[in-house]
């Protein structure tokens, strides 16, 4: 039995999970978790967002087993050890999944920091559209539910109008999501759902243009959230102003210590990340790239992140990915995948970068391919480039 199970059992009996055709109370989820027969060790969880996912996770905590959340489409169970209460699978910058073992203390601390910083309350209703088993979902959906009984409304739809209907019908107040969904919602001609008070964006960079379009449409500022599977939540834009202008990912969460090393790498507690950043004049963190990804163009160094920032500031660009490729002679060059409906991207970029910093190859599309984690599908983009 883990500390998560004890905290869950301390919640009062009330409706906490809302899904199509069924509402689950705390007592009903508890009874279902107690009836579920599992083996000790690693407990795979492949269910989509639902009471079934939560029941299996809670049953693992009751047993003292290690929950292993997987994407529903995952064909195999990766080899992981029975260690901690949960295993996060992260691809990091390598594209290959690696396990991050989480103790109950780690998840509890992260959940409390998120609730305190974002102001997520027991009487809120969280829309569970992002996968419950991803690091983002565990911190923003599962832990508020376990720690303070904050209800979740489970959904799997990707149709923007259906998302708004669910928010309106279920009186959702908090909506953690990803930039691709926010971009689609910003393009709708629809009124703001009256219950919605907080919109959070994480998982990928959000362009200032999308944040501004969303604000004009719904009168709500989006709040950037930056975290890592290894550390949990790191920074958050409390006012929404940093997200609206694209200047940063916000300030550190409550009780989270963030430092920048001399080489630019972000350090959270004792964990050194592959991300590099700088503090701006507001005391906010501005991400500037990842370690080791630099192109040598005619003897000059340029980081793809610099070009990405310039492209994101071009009107009409809602997302971008820049990578380093090599020609037949082994010389580096930059290639850019740009999400935009305009064709004048390169001419606009000439006013922002030196000529040697320009991408040599472009792939322009109204919508770039994404994984089910809401991130750009870099494997598909490499083929396109």
Task: For residues 9-30, give the mean pLDDT.
Answer: 96
pLDDT at 305 > cutoff 90 = no
pLDDT at 28 > cutoff 60 = yes
Task: For residues 149-166, give the mean pLDDT.
Answer: 93
pLDDT at 262 > cutoff 60 = yes
pLDDT at 304 > cutoff 60 = yes
Task: For residues 129-155, give the mean pLDDT.
Answer: 96
Task: For residues 161-184, give the mean pLDDT.
Answer: 95
Task: For residues 168-187, give the mean pLDDT.
Answer: 95
Of the two residues 88 and 330, the one the predictor is more confident about is 88
At residue 135, the pLDDT reads 94
Closest-CA residue to 321 (of 213, 229, 204): 204
At residue 94, the pLDDT reads 46
Task: For residues 279-283, give the mean pLDDT.
Answer: 96
At residue 345, the pLDDT reads 83
pLDDT at 73 > cutoff 80 = no
Do residues 223 and 208 make contact, with C-beta atoms less than 8 angstroms apart?
A: no
The percent of residues in the chain predicted with pLDDT above 70, rounded, is: 97
At residue 357, the pLDDT reads 85
Find the range with the poorest average confidence among 40-49, 60-69, 295-304.
295-304
At residue 271, the pLDDT reads 93
pLDDT at 208 > cutoff 80 = yes
The band of 378, judged by pLDDT with boundaries at 50, 70 and 90, is confident
At residue 178, the pLDDT reads 93
Q: Which CATH superfamily is domain 3-289 in?
A: ANL, N-terminal domain (3.40.50.12780)
CA pair distance 212, 193, nearest whole angstrom: 18
Average pLDDT, the chain: 91
Find the range with the poorest average confidence among 85-89, 220-224, 326-330.
326-330
Of the two residues 384 and 279, the one the predictor is more confident about is 279
The model carries a pTM of 0.84
At residue 216, the pLDDT reads 96
pLDDT at 165 > cutoff 70 = yes
Task: For residues 164-180, give the mean pLDDT.
Answer: 96
Q: Which CATH superfamily is domain 295-384 in?
A: ANL, C-terminal domain (3.30.300.30)
At residue 215, the pLDDT reads 97
| Domain spans of the chain, in order of start | 3-289, 295-384
Find the range with the poorest average confidence among 286-290, 293-297, 366-370.
293-297
pLDDT at 372 > cutoff 70 = no
Q: Confirm whether 3-289 and 295-384 share one CATH topology.
A: no
pLDDT tens-digit series, residues 83-131: 999 999 886 544 567 899 999 999 999 999 999 999 999 999 999 999 9
């Amino acid at each position: 039995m883990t500390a998560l199970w004890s905290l869950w059992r301390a919640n009062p009996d009330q409706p906490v999970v809302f899904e199509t055709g069924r509402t689950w109370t705390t007592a009903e989820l508890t009874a279902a978790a107690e009836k579920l027969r599992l083996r000790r060790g690693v407990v795979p969880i492949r269910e989509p967002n639902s009471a079934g996912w939560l029941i299996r996770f809670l049953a693992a905590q009751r047993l003292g087993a290690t929950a292993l959340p997987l994407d529903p489409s995952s064909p195999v169970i990766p080899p992981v050890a029975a260690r901690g209460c949960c295993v996060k699978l992260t691809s990091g910058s390598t594209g290959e999944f690696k396990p991050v073992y989480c103790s109950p203390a780690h998840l509890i601390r992260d959940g409390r920091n998120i609730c305190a910083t974002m102001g997520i309350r027991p009487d809120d209703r969280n829309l569970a559209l992002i996968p419950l088993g991803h690091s983002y979902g565990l911190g923003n959906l599962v832990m508020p539910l376990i720690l303070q009984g904050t209800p979740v409304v489970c959904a799997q739809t990707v149709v923007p109008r259906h998302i708004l209907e669910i928010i309106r019908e279920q009186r959702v107040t908090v909506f953690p999501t990803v930039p691709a969904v926010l971009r689609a919602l910003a393009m709708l001609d629809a009124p703001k759902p009256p219950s919605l008070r907080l919109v959070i964006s994480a998982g990928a960079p959000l362009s200032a243009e999308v944040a501004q379009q969303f604000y004009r449409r719904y009168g709500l500022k989006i709040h950037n959230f930056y975290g890592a599977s290894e550390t949990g939540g790191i920074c958050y834009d409390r006012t929404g102003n940093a997200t609206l202008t694209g200047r940063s990912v916000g300030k550190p969460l409550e009780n989270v210590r963030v430092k920048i090393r001399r080489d630019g790498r972000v350090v959270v507690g004792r964990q050194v990340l592959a991300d590099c950043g700088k503090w701006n004049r507001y005391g906010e963190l501005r991400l500037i790239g990842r370690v080791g990804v630099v192109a040598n163009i005619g003897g000059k160094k340029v980081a793809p992140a610099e070009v990405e920032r310039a492209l994101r500031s071009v009107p009409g660009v809602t997302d971008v990915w820049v990578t380093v490729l090599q020609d037949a002679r082994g010389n580096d060059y930059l290639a850019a995948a740009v999400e935009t409906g305009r064709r004048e991207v390169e001419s606009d970029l000439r006013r922002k970068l030196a000529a040697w910093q320009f991408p040599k190859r472009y792939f322009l599309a109204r919508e770039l391919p994404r994984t089910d984690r809401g991130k750009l599908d870099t494997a598909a983009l490499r083929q396109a480039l």
